[in-house]
């Protein structure tokens, strides 16, 4: 019987040879001890030691197959996106997804597999790692969907205060661009201010540094600039994002962000972006965008606020290049702000959080001489609803949005979203 036990243990141990060589030696020593024992000797102690070794091997199995959990945000990224930083060496897998139902007043309702995302990371060593996000939007390509690489970068971790990153990177601007997982923000839809004033999700090719210094964290990158060929009056600079796809690289930009973390759950900070967007078209088209933000969590209350302002140089030249006339002009100045708050009335593993958000924005706060603004782009949106999380990694959000603009053409609507992260 004892020999059969040893046979099983000695087959199992080599599967974990890198960390279990000591266990193998201890097992062989016991085997030799048994072979020298007389039948009259008490084998109880040997059996006890074998049982202990078996328990240690099972614990080793559990430890080596354990994966990181999507419950901590690191280096500005969301909980699922940053799993690779907490994993053991090798592959790390995470992801998120969103399903969205929208019913605009007086219009046809729509239901959409909005996005499904897989995070794939690989930890070469404690210092070098790769991280990426691959996204499928709107379920399939035949119905207007697309597949997009949202980020893919290499990190070299030197020390907490200074690390280096290069590749396709999320711009460290605003509250949502880096942390856009559905469990991380209120609303079935992301704030409009962080979709057109700050063009989330916004990613560019480049390189830079990041780190934590005491209560402060920072990120600073040199990246490919926007392309003015995509600017328009309604979406501002949003369609000027190049997203790493054969990006024009005549013009480059700099972006920097600093956050202060005075205590757990609270951040106050800001970011700035500046760079030309002409990309060889004969004008500079410098885009400058700055924002300040704050977020806090305390005893079930979550509050967030953001203010963003931007400008586009050579706006008249860009209009002429693109053939934009009258109120189609891009804004030489643009901006917006929002505040939101929610209260978790359950404050347990299962949560129910009513929330409200008010945002105000205008993609044409100012236009160049000789052009006019479209008052429909001067908008205010009030959102009220609730988020229900059966567990922290899943969420159901239901809300109603009252949409106003200066032309009185806004459309109110109901939204329902189902989201998950892993």
Helix (H, G, I), strand (E, B) or coil at 1: coil
In this structure, the number of other CB atoms found within 10 A of the CB of residue 378 comes to 17
In tens, the pLDDT along 204-232 reads 999 999 999 999 999 999 999 999 999 99
Q: What DSSP string runs through 45-114?
A: HHHHHHHHHHHHHHHHHHHHH----S---BTTB-TTTTGGGGS-SEEEEEEEEEEEEEEETTS--EEEEE
Chain-centroid distance, C-alpha 321: 35
User: From CA 348, how far away is CA 137, in angstroms rounded?
Assistant: 33
Pairing of strands 90-104, 110-123: antiparallel
What is d(CA 242, CA 230) in angstroms, rounded to the nearest whole number?
Answer: 9
Helix (H) or strand (E) holding 356: strand 351-366
pLDDT tens for each residue of 57-100: 665 555 444 567 777 888 889 999 999 999 888 999 999 999 99
- Domain extents for the chain? 2-65, 83-421
Total length of the chain? 422
DSSP-derived secondary structure for 174-199: TTTSS---TTSSSSSS--TIIIIIS-
| pLDDT for position 172 | 98
Residue 115 has pLDDT above 60, yes or no: yes
pLDDT value of residue 69: 79
Report field, pTM of the whole predicted structure over 0.85: no
pLDDT at position 47: 65
| In this structure, CATH architecture of domain 83-421 | Beta Barrel (2.40)
pLDDT digits (tens, 9 = 90+) for 127-181: 999 999 999 999 988 888 899 999 999 999 999 999 999 999 999 999 999 999 9
- CA distances in angstroms from 99 to 145, 209, 307, listed in the order given: 14, 35, 28
Alpha carbon 170 to its chain's center: 8
CA distance linking residue 292 with residue 68, whole number of Å: 32
Q: What angle do CA 164, 190, 306 make, to 5 degrees?
A: 70
């Amino acid at each position: 019987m004892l020999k059969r036990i040893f046979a099983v243990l000695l087959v199992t141990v080599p599967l974990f040879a890198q960390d279990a060589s000591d266990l193998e030696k201890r097992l062989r020593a016991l085997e030799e001890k048994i072979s020298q024992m007389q039948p009259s000797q008490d084998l109880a102690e040997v059996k006890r030691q074998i049982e202990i070794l078996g328990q240690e091997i099972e614990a080793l199995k559990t430890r080596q197959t354990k994966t990181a959990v999507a419950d901590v945000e690191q280096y500005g990224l969301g909980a699922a996106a940053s799993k690779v930083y907490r994993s053991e060496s090798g592959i790390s897998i995470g992801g998120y997804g969103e399903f969205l139902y929208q019913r605009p007043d007086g219009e046809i309702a729509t239901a959409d597999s909005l996005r499904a995302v897989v995070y794939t990371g690989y930890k070469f060593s404690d210092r070098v790692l790769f991280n990426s996000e691959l996204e499928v939007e709107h379920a399939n390509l035949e119905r207007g969907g697309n597949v997009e690489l949202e980020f893919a970068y290499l990190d070299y971790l030197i020390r907490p205060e200074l690390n280096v990153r290069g590749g396709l990177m999320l711009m460290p601007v605003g509250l949502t661009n880096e942390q856009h997982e559905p469990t991380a923000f209120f609303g079935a839809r992301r704030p409009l201010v962080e979709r057109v004033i700050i063009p989330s999700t916004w990613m560019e090719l480049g390189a830079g540094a990041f780190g934590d210094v005491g209560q402060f964290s920072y990120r600073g990158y040199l990246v490919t600039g926007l392309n003015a060929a995509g600017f328009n009056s309604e979406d501002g600079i949003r369609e000027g994002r190049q997203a790493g796809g054969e990006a024009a690289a005549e013009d480059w930009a700099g972006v920097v962000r600093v956050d202060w973390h005075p205590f757990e759950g609270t951040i106050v900070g800001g970011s700035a972006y500046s760079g030309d967007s002409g990309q060889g078209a004969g004008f500079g088209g410098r885009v400058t965008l700055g924002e300040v933000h704050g977020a806090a969590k305390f005893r079930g209350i979550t509050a967030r606020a953001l203010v963003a302002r931007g400008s586009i140089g050579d706006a008249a030249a860009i209009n002429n290049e693109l053939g934009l006339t009258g109120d189609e002009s891009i804004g030489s100045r643009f901006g917006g702000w929002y505040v939101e708050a929610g209260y978790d009335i359950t404050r347990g593993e299962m949560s129910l959080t009513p929330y409200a958000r008010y945002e105000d924005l205008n993609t044409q706060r100012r236009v160049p001489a000789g052009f006019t603004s479209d008052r429909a782009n001067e908008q205010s949106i009030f959102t009220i609803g609730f988020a229900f999380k059966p567990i922290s990694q899943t969420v159901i959000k239901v809300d109603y949005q009252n949409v106003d603009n200066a032309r009185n053409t806004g459309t109110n609507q109901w939204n329902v979203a189902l989201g998950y992260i892993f």
